[in-house]
Structure 1
C-alpha cells in the first residue's frame, strides 16, 4: 500500500533525532533571589538580616557562574543566633506534641506549594534534591512529634542543637526535622551548596507557623562557625554531616567545652558495588552506569565483580559507555587529582575503559573504569572525585564479602544477585550501615542510616535516629565549662608513682589480685603493681599496674572471640549471662565483703548492692532475645529490614559509685548485644571488680570476651582511645579525660559516651539502683548499631 513505511522499529529508533533541549531558566528561584538582591544574610529570630559590614561568599552554579552571595557571620551574629534559639526552645518546648506535629504537617503542604522554587534553587546550588522527599520527611517526622510523649515519656530534648552540614539538602533535613520533632530548637550551619536551600526552607518553616527562633540559619565557614556556636554555654548538642577532614577540625575545636557531638562522615565514605555471578548482569550494569557517572555523588563507589562474569560485565560496560559525553567536574582542581590517580593506576597494571578520550585541559572528564586493580591501590582506598570507577574482581562469594569489608568506611553497599539466600547472608556479613539488594541509593526516613567505623558515629532516620536528639530525663548531661590546658600528646604518659602509704604494716603481707587479660589471670606486662587503699589509708591489697601492652593483648583476644559470640543465638547468649548471674549469686558474700571493705558502707548496704547486681544481670539475660529489629513499611515497592547489631569491641572506664552494680550493668548491656569488652575499674575502688574476676571464670562467658585491667585511668584511657579496633568508649572520669577523648577519638573515629564523674557526684549523678526503663534503654542503645537492608520486589 502506498505511504506505508517498510522500516523496522529498530531502524526507526536509530534514525530518530533528539528534539531541542528545554532551557531551564529557573525563573521562580531567580525571582526569589532578586527579591533578596542576590545577597542572602542570616535567618535569625524569624527574619532575614544582612549586616552591611560582613564578608561575603559567592555561590556558583554548574557553569561556575555566580548565582548570589551569602554573608559570613561574626561573633555578634553567633550570640544573636544562640540567644534567639534559646528563647525559641522555651516556646517550642511548652507547646503540646499535637501543636508541634501540626506545624510540621503544615510544612509538608507549604513545601508542596513552593516545590518548584525549592527544586530550582537546589539545582542552582548544585545540591539537587526532590521536593517530594522533603515532603515525605516532614510528614514522617510530624507523626513522631505527635507520638513523642506517648512512646518516649521518660526522655527529654537536649535544648539548642547545632546542625552543621556539608552534604545534600536531604541529609541536612534528615537532622533538622527529627531534632525539631523531639522539641529542640535548631541552628543550621549549612555548607556552600546547601546554604541557599537552607535559607529558603527556613522561610517556609515560618510560613508553616513555627515560632520565631526555633529554626535559625547562620552562614559562613562551617568549621569555625560551628565551633563558635558550640562553645556558647547555651548550646547543648552538635551534629555534623560532611567530610572527614572538616569533621575532625570541628571535633578538635569543640573538645572540652562539654558539648556532646556526633558525626555522619558519609561524604568521604567508600562503598562497594558487588556483582555476583548469579546477578542479572544487564540490570547490574545499568545500576553501575546510573550510579557511578553522575556529577555529584553522595558516596564514592568501588565496583567488585565475580571472576566468572568479569568478562561479560566489562563487555557490557564498554557497550553502555560507548558514546557517553564527558561529565563536568565540581571544580577544575578535581581534574588534577583524577589525572594523578589514573596515571598511578596504569603504572600498577590497570586498564582503562573510557567513553571517549579525555580533553587535554578543563573541568570535563569522560566516564572511566579502572579495571584490574588490587585492594591496596590508592584509587581503591580513596577514589578520586568525578566519573572514575575502580574495578576489582573476586573468586568466591565469601571473598566478595571480604572485599566489601576491606574499606575502613562502613556507610553502604549495593549487592546484585538473584539468589535471595546469598543476598541475605552477604548483607548480614557486611560491616555496613545500609545494604541495597539489586538496587542502590534507595532512602526513606522510616529506615535508619547508620555509619560504621570511619563513616560516622551516629544514627539518622527511623525511630533509632530520634534518640541522638534526646536524653533520659534522669540522666545528667556533661557540665559546661571552658577547655583545660592539655598536652594531648603527653596525656596518660606519666608513669604511676609507687609509694608506701601511711599506716603500712611490714609484718602483714596484703593479698595480690591479678587482672584478667585474654581470659587468663595475669600480672601487668610491665611487672609493676599498685596499692589498693582503704578509706582510712591502710593497704588492703596490691593489684597490677596495667598499661598499653595489656590493652593490646586484651583487644587481640577480644577480636578473636567476639565474632563467634556475636553469631551465637540470642537464646544462647542469654543462658551464658544467666550462668554469670548464678556464679555471682554463689559468691555474694565475698563480693559484699569486698564492697564493704573498699567503700566503708554497711554490710547490709553492700549485700543489697550484690542482690541488685544479680537482678541486673538477669535483666540483661532476659533482654537478649527480646530486643529485635523491625520491618518498616516504606512508600516504595519492596521490603525493608532494620536490625540491631553488635558494635564489636568496647572500652569501658568504670565509675566509682556502686562499683559492682555499675560494672554488671555496663557489662551486661555490652555482652548481651554480642560485644566484647575491655573494662578498667575505678582507681579508687578496684577490689569489687577484681573479686568479680572469679565470678567470670566460673561462668559460661567465653574466655577473652571480657578483660578487666587495673592501673592508671588516664594511661589506660589513652591506650583505648588510640587503638583502631576499639569501636566505642564508655567513660566515667575526669573533665580532662572527657576532653582528651573528644579530641582524640575522631581519628580513628569512635562512639563516645562521656561522663564527668566529679560533676555527676555533685549533681547526684546516675542512679545505678534505679529500674527506670529509660536508663536501661539508653544502655542498650549505646551497645548496638543499626543496619538497614532494602530488597525490591518490583
Structure 2
C-alpha cells in the first residue's frame, strides 16, 4: 500500500511539473507570437517597429530561428534621445519614495512573469534566475527610498547610455545592477542590448512600464554592430556611457567616443582568465566538485585556470578523473570553435601537457568533452588566450607566495576562487590577489550590496553597493561641470605631444639677477631631467623669465614609475593610522616652509601676499583633512546570506597632470587623495605655474614619506601626458589640460584600460578648490573595491 501511495504521489508531482514547464513554454512562445516573432524598438514606453529597417535573425542554441530584431538608424536614435529627455524630467521629478514604489512594485510583477523571462533567456542560449532579479529590485528599491537621506548633496546625471553588445544574458545580474543603479537616482536610461539578450531585455522593459515607470525613462535600441553605441553617445543629452561585454568592442567604443565629452566606463566581462587556487589545506573533495561545476557545468563567460599546490597534485588529479567519468560532451557554439579547441589541445600536448578527459573526443562536430590540461605553464598560449571550449589548464605551485604570483599572472582582474580551511591563509591571499571578486571555498557568488571594481584590465568602473551609485551621480554643489559636450577634433594622435619646446635665449646682462634653476623630484631625490634640457618659466605677464625647470620626458616618467612601483605595495600595506601620521608630518613641513611658498605663489601667479598666504593656509588644512580621512572609510555591508568583506584598495600608480589654478592647493588636494588611500603618484606640475610645486619639493624632501612614493616631473604638458598614457603600469590618470589632451587620453588609454578623470582647462576657472566636498569626490576616484566572500553554515 505504501509503495502504491508513493508511486501515485510521485506521478502526481511529475505531471504537475510537466504542466508547469509546458505552461511556461507556452508563455514565452505566446509573447513572441504576439509580436509576430519580429521584435521592434522600445521607445517612449511602447514597442515601435519603423518601416524600411534592416533586421537580423536570432537563433537558439540548436540553430533554430527564435525571432528577428530591428537594426536602428540615426532617426531612431534621435527619437530615442528625445524620449529619454522627457522621461528624465518625469522620472527625476518624482520623490524618492515614489521611485522606490515603482522599483519595488516590479518584485510582484516579476512574481507573475519571472518564469517567462527565465524561459525566454534559456531559449536564447543563456540562463537567468528570477530570484536574482527579485533580490536586485529589492535592494535598489530600498536605496531609492533612502537616497536623499544617505546620499546627500548628489543629483542624477541625466540620460545614461548603457549597452552590452555581444553580451550573454547570464550576466544580467551585473547588467541589472548597472540599470537599477542608473534608474534609482532619477536618471533615464537607453539600453543597447547584445544579440542574445535582446528578447529578454525588451520583455523586461515592458514589465518596467507595467510597474509604473514613466514613458521614456527606459528605452531599448537594437542594432547590428558597435557603431550604434557611438551614435547614441553623440546625442548632446547623453551624460554617461556604460559598456559591458568583450574587450575588443569596449576599445572600439572608447576610440569612437573620444572627444565627445562624455565619460565612458568599460567592464570587459567576457573572456577573462580567472584563477581557481587549491591549497594543501583545502577540503579536496569539495574543491574538485567546485572546479568541475565552475569550469564545465556553468556558462563560460570566464575561463578558469586551475592552480594546485604540488603536495596535493596527485590527489586532485585522481579525484578529477573519478568525478569526470560519464560526463557528456559540451556543445560548442559553432564548428569554428571546434577547430580552435583542437588546435589548443594539440599545442598543449606538444608542450608536454597530459589530458584528463571524461570520454573520447568525437572526430568532428561542434562538441568536445570536458578536458583538463595537466602540466600547463603560465606562458602557454592556451593559458594566456584560452579557446572557447571546455578546457581547463592545470598549473602547480609550491608556496603561498608562488600561488599569489600565479593568480596575478593574468592581465585580467575580474575574479578568483580560493580553497583552503585556513582562514588566515585565505584572507592573506585575498588581500594579495588583484581581483574584483574573490570567493573562499566557493565560486560565482554575487550580491548587489557589495561594490566590485575592475582590477587591472577588467574594467574602469565600480558596480554594486552604495559605491556603484556615485558613477551615475554628480555633486549638486560642484562648480565644475563634467567635460563639455563637443564634437571630436580632427587630430593626428601620433603627433600629439611632439611639438618642440620653445627656444631659450640666454641673457647674461646681469649675472646677479640670473633666473634660478629648479630640479624635479624622482625616487625621493631632487634631480635634473634625463635630457639635461630646461624649460623657461615665464612671469605672469609673460615679459620675463622667472626661473628654469627641467624638461622631463618619457625616460623621466619611466624612472618615476619604476620608483613608484617598488614602494607602492609597502605603502598600501601600512596601516591607515601610519599613513595619517605621514600626512600630518607633511602638513607640518609645509607650515615650516610657509614663507618660501607664499613668495613663490606671489611671484608665479601675481596674487597678493595676503591671497598667497590664504592659499598656503588652506593647503595646510587640506593635508590635515586628508590625514584625518585615512582611517574613516573602511569596509562595507554584508550580503543577504553568508559573510563577506567589502574592501577599498589603492589603484596602484596614479599619474596627475596638475591644473594652472591654485597651484599649491590643487596639488596638495590631489596628492593627499592619492597617498591617503595607498597609491603612489607621478605629478606633472602646471606648465604655466610650476614654481609653487617646485618649492614644495623641499617639504617632500624633509618628510618621512618613502622615497619614490611621490614623484614630480616637470616639462611640457603634452609630451609628459603622452608618456603617462603609454605606460602600461599606470592605472589611472587625473588630467587638467586642453580638449585635445582629453580626447587623446580617451582614444589612447585602452590597452590596458586606464581610469580617467578628465577636466578641460578652459573650464577650470569655475572649479573651486576650497570646497571641502572635494575630499569625498577625489577619495572615490582614488580607490577600487574588492569583495571577499566567506561561506558560513
TM-score of the superposition, structure 1-length normalised? 0.95
Partner of 1:482: 487
Partner of 1:610: 616
The answer as to whether partners of 2:508 and 2:514 remain within 8 angstroms in 1 is: no
Report the secondary structure of 2:482's partner residue.
coil
- 1:627 is the counterpart of 2:633: yes
Superposition CA RMSD, Å: 1.7
Partner of 1:509: 514
Match among 409, 412, 416 for residue 413 of structure 1: 416
Taking structure 1 as reference, are residues 654 and 280 closer, same or farther at Cα in structure 2, changes over 3 Å only?
Answer: same
Taking structure 1 as reference, are residues 504 and 67 closer, same or farther at Cα in structure 2, changes over 3 Å only?
Answer: farther
The CA deviation at 1:331 is 2.8
Equivalent positions of 1:39-54 (< 5 A) are 39-54=38-53
Report the secondary structure of 2:52's partner residue.
coil
Partner of 1:724: 728
Match among 171, 174, 182 for residue 171 of structure 1: 174
The answer as to whether partners of 1:354 and 1:366 remain within 8 angstroms in 2 is: yes
Partner of 1:150: 149
The answer as to whether partners of 1:577 and 1:700 remain within 8 angstroms in 2 is: no
Equivalent positions of 1:532-681 (< 5 A) are 532-536=537-541, 537-630=543-636, 632-636=637-641, 638-681=642-685
Match among 744, 748, 753 for residue 744 of structure 1: 748
Taking structure 1 as reference, are residues 317 and 415 closer, same or farther at Cα in structure 2, changes over 3 Å only?
Answer: same
Equivalent positions of 1:375-524 (< 5 A) are 375-473=378-476, 474=478, 475-500=480-505, 508-524=513-529
In 1, distance between residues paired with 2:299 and 2:428? 31
Report the secondary structure of 2:91's partner residue.
helix
In 1, distance between residues paired with 2:538 and 2:502? 14
Report the secondary structure of 1:436's partner residue.
strand
Report the secondary structure of 1:293's partner residue.
helix
Partner of 2:535: 530
- 1:263 is the counterpart of 2:266: yes
The answer as to whether partners of 1:501 and 1:539 remain within 8 angstroms in 2 is: no
The CA deviation at 1:295 is 6.0
The CA deviation at 1:757 is 1.1
Report the secondary structure of 2:241's partner residue.
strand
Partner of 1:16: none
The CA deviation at 1:508 is 3.0
The CA deviation at 1:501 is 9.2
Taking structure 1 as reference, are residues 361 and 527 closer, same or farther at Cα in structure 2, changes over 3 Å only?
Answer: same
The CA deviation at 1:507 is 6.5
Equivalent positions of 1:297-376 (< 5 A) are 297-376=300-379
What do residues 548-585 of structure 1 show as CA deviations (whole Å, max 9, x unaligned)?
00000000000001111111111111111111000000
The CA deviation at 1:500 is 3.3
What do residues 399-450 of structure 1 show as CA deviations (whole Å, max 9, x unaligned)?
1111101111111100000111111111111111111000000001011122
TM-score of the superposition, structure 2-length normalised? 0.95
In 2, distance between residues paired with 1:689 and 1:482? 34
The answer as to whether partners of 1:491 and 1:718 remain within 8 angstroms in 2 is: yes
What do residues 714-759 of structure 1 show as CA deviations (whole Å, max 9, x unaligned)?
1101100110110000000000010011111111111000000113
In 2, distance between residues paired with 1:498 and 1:504? 18
Taking structure 1 as reference, are residues 174 and 207 closer, same or farther at Cα in structure 2, changes over 3 Å only?
Answer: same
The CA deviation at 1:256 is 0.4
In 2, distance between residues paired with 1:54 and 1:271? 41
- 1:211 is the counterpart of 2:214: yes
In 2, distance between residues paired with 1:719 and 1:558? 15
In 2, distance between residues paired with 1:617 and 1:96? 38
Taking structure 1 as reference, are residues 388 and 275 closer, same or farther at Cα in structure 2, changes over 3 Å only?
Answer: same
Give the total of aligned pairs: 771
The CA deviation at 1:22 is 6.6
Taking structure 1 as reference, are residues 505 and 91 closer, same or farther at Cα in structure 2, changes over 3 Å only?
Answer: farther
In 1, distance between residues paired with 2:782 and 2:209? 38
In 2, distance between residues paired with 1:786 and 1:198? 28
In 2, distance between residues paired with 1:307 and 1:725? 31
The answer as to whether partners of 1:351 and 1:372 remain within 8 angstroms in 2 is: yes
Partner of 2:713: 709
What do residues 655-674 of structure 1 show as CA deviations (whole Å, max 9, x unaligned)?
01100000000000100111
Report the secondary structure of 1:386's partner residue.
coil
